Chain A
Amino acid sequence: MPKLKDISNFIQAERVLIFFLIVGVGLITYLLYSFSQKPSGQVTWKNNILPGQTTKQEVEKSLGKPLKTEATGSSNIYFYPTQNKFRQDQVVFSQNTAQIIKEQVIGNEKGKLPDYISKYGNPQAIVYGPHGFAGPGHFWQAQGILVFANDHDGTIVEIWYFAPTSLGKLIKANPQLSINPPKNF
């Protein structure tokens, strides 16, 4: 004959199990939902613009008409204003879809390089591009971002957003990028 205390413990243990079960199911549901919204942790740009998915019409609806546009080969570039009149964000479209976004960072509004490292871990690669040693590109593949930031004071000068892709493909599509350190004459 079980004692009253045993019954009480059993009920409490069951409650604990049910609690963890609910939390676990909730977490799994949340993760499944998140992954179904965007591929593998890809970082969105402002107003949830997602390179590789958001169309030109959706960008215009979200950000309005661009300051100017440029056509280069099969791509179109839309320029949008920032807080600095000399530096404009660029949205590069190919086949009517935003392929890459080049966001100009004016101050510390996007944080510092260590913030990204603590959030996403060490970058998978360092590449050099429009800012040389002053702002090497820190490549996070799964997030689809390239953060051009100074390695010494962490200042971020530019961020590129793209659909997650390999470093090789990113460099092939953007020949100004290189894994080799630049030579500044």
Chain B
Amino acid sequence: MKSKVVKSIKLALKSFAILIILLINPIQITYAAQQSVSAKAVVTIGSAPACNIYSIENGIGQDGSSWSDAEKANIQTVCTTLAKSPAVISLLQAAGQIHLARYTNGSLGKEVCGIQVSPDTIEIACDLSSVTAAEYMITHESGHVIQSFNGSVYQAYLNSGAFDQEGLMPTYLYSEAGILGWGGCPRCESFAEMIADNVVSKIFNFHSRTWSGYPGGIWVNPGSGWTTYAQDRPMHYNFAKTNIFGGVEF
């Protein structure tokens, strides 16, 4: 009689334990993180990353190319420029190392110079032997890296209302409709362009932009109705100055 009761209790306890385990620990469906980078692989040249932020790499595959010495020097200059702001360096360092892979000019698409293909990988397919072009392009793409690794800063940008009040940065190549057309993210592009423009607006000769009416040239009185970046798009300018560059102006 006693052993029968003990067996019953053990069975009841086991059943109860199994029930509890099933309730609090349901079978979890695993998922594969879909964060794979471009199909194009990259290889690191040598062992010295530029500025401890950028890893300068050759693209491989039929469109793979290599950086010229002038371009490598210009990437170093970009680092030196950005290093004036410890705040932006800190944001970039969240990515660990940023991969800059060089591809044949024009191979990424018509008028496409750079693409962020994964959170920490940028492909470049245009001539960056001009230092201002390098500063513009590398800082724009680095802006994408910053938003990819610093969600709280991106959220603060959304909260700032800069995009809602001032729209897409007018120096960007495409309109909002164009960005949506390729499945892109207008707020992401404006965020990246804002960062680039805080660095280069006074020195880089932007192309004219039909969609925004930007007349072209450096953003210092480029044409009727335009003055400077800081005055024409103050919410973007001040957001980047404060939240990205820690108060540093270029």
Contact = CB atoms under 8 A, between A and B. Distances in A.
A179 B94 CA distance: 25
A150 B151 contact: yes
Interface string B9-38: 100110010010001001011110111100
Given A16-B9, A87-B158, A123 B31 contact: yes
Nearest to B20: A27
Interface in B215-249: none
Nearest to B151: A150
A125 B35 CA distance: 11
A contact patch SS: loop
A126 B36 CA distance: 12
B23 A184 contact: no
A131 interface: yes
B: contact size bracket: 35 or more
A179 B161 CA distance: 28
B144 A17 contact: no
Nearest to A141: B29
B184 A27 contact: no
Interface string B148-178: 1111101100111100110000000110000
Given A152-B151, A153-B149, A176-B183, A17 B31 contact: no
A66 interface: no
A29 B73 CA distance: 71
Interface in A148-185: 149-157, 176, 178-185
Contacts of A107: 155
Contact of B16 (A20, A122, A123, A154): A20
Contact of B185 (A124, A130, A152): A130
Nearest to A183: B115
A49 interface: no
Contact of B158 (A13, A121, A152, A157): A157
B90 to A, nearest CB: 13
Contacts of B115: 183-185
Interface stretch (A2-10, A54-62, A71-79, A94-102): A2-10
B151 A135 contact: yes
Given A20-B12, A24-B19, A152-B151, A182 B31 contact: no
A23 interface: yes
A180 B161 CA distance: 28
B5 A2 contact: no
A49 B159 CA distance: 25
Contact of B159 (A16, A84, A176, A185): A84
A106 B17 CA distance: 41
Those 4 A-B pairs whose CB atoms lie nearest each other, nearest first: A150-B151, A155-B151, A86-B161, A121-B28
